[in-house]
Amino acid sequence: MTRTIPLAFVALALALMLADAPSSRAASSSDIVGITDLGSGANEAWVIAPGGARSIVVFLHERGDPIPQRYLAWLDYLAAEDSAVVFPRYERAASDTPQQTLRALRASVTTAAHHLANLPHSGFGGGPIKGVPLIVVGYGYGATLAFYVAANSGRWGLPTPKAVVGIFPRPGPFPGLALPPLPRSTRVVVQVGDADTMAAKSAARELWDAIEHHPRALKQLVTVHSGHGMRADHGAPRRTTSAAVEAFWAPLDQLIYDLRGG
């Protein structure tokens, strides 16, 4: 099922979500062509498509946040910076197993990639996506999933991700579910917070150990320190204060800029 959400609704939703965002960083949504709602249930995904997108960001939410509302300011910022954004629901129930979740992610992300490839205004050429950087970003539970999505990209028929970014991951690799090696060319960034008490530090270390043989020059483990009015606890990445924007939005923005070559 495909549903294109009216732009008037998008503008209202974004205006409400951006009311508290720092004006110096929250970009305008005027260039967003529309938000398309693809699929249903756990296979659902929202696609934010700006005109002439130069990169694709798959954004994987924390568990329990299966719709974009709490992330709209960040998603809009990414789109306004010329990234097409895919936001998969991936959740059906709290009892979903990692295997069920990954099957849902495969269905939703591949459907979204096909949708983007065939948008004449997307800048992807109306065919298979080539030469456009794909970045997989996840927060919390989604950060762990991001590694699995990136590692399985070839099997799923997706472009090789240029980067995988895990923000305050939890848990580590799923027990009984092997994490395949990441593509050797994929850059890896893992962020942990110095005040995160939700096991993100240990999860990040477990993920880091799981990619022990990934090229050292392409991976980075970063500790986000509290300060400037921000406590780097587990909820920090969802905030829109200036300090949170600088800690989470700005590094991702710079990484995307570098991967696109400017």
Task: Say how many domains are in the chain.
Answer: 1
pLDDT tens for residues 51-67? 778 899 999 999 999 99
Residue 250 CB partners (closer than 8 Å, separation 6+): 25
Mean pLDDT of 2-24: 40
User: One-letter amino acid identity for 172?
Assistant: G
Average pLDDT, the chain: 85
Coil vs helix vs strand at 190: strand
pLDDT for residue 28 is more than 60: no
Residues belonging to the chain: 262
Q: Are 245 and 207 in contact (CB under 8 A)?
A: no
**Would you tell me how many other CB atoms lie within 10 Å of the CB of residue 91?**
20
pLDDT of res. 199: 78
Residues 6+ apart with CB under 8 A from 213: 181
| Span 176-211, pLDDT tens digits | 999 999 999 999 999 999 999 987 789 999 999 999
CA distance linking residue 45 with residue 39, whole number of Å: 7
pLDDT exceeds 90 at position 19: no
Q: pLDDT at position 99, please?
A: 95
Beta-sheet pairing, 55-60 with 32-38: unpaired
- Predicted confidence (pLDDT) per residue in 112-158, tens digit: 998 888 776 555 554 445 668 999 999 999 999 999 999 999 999 99
Interaxial angle between packed helices 200-210 and 141-151, expressed in degrees from 0 to 180 and rounded to the nearest 10:
10
Nearest to 116 by CA among 164, 162, 75, 159: 159
Q: Is residue 13 over pLDDT 70? A: no
Spatial distance between the Cα atoms of 42 and 37, rounded to a whole number of angstroms: 12
CATH code for the domain of 238 = 3.40.50.1820
Does the pTM exceed 0.75?
yes
Range of the domain at 97: 2-260
Whole-number pLDDT of residue 129: 58
* Dihedral pair phi/psi, residue 169, rounded to 5°: -70, 150
- Stretch (H or E) spanning 60: strand 55-60
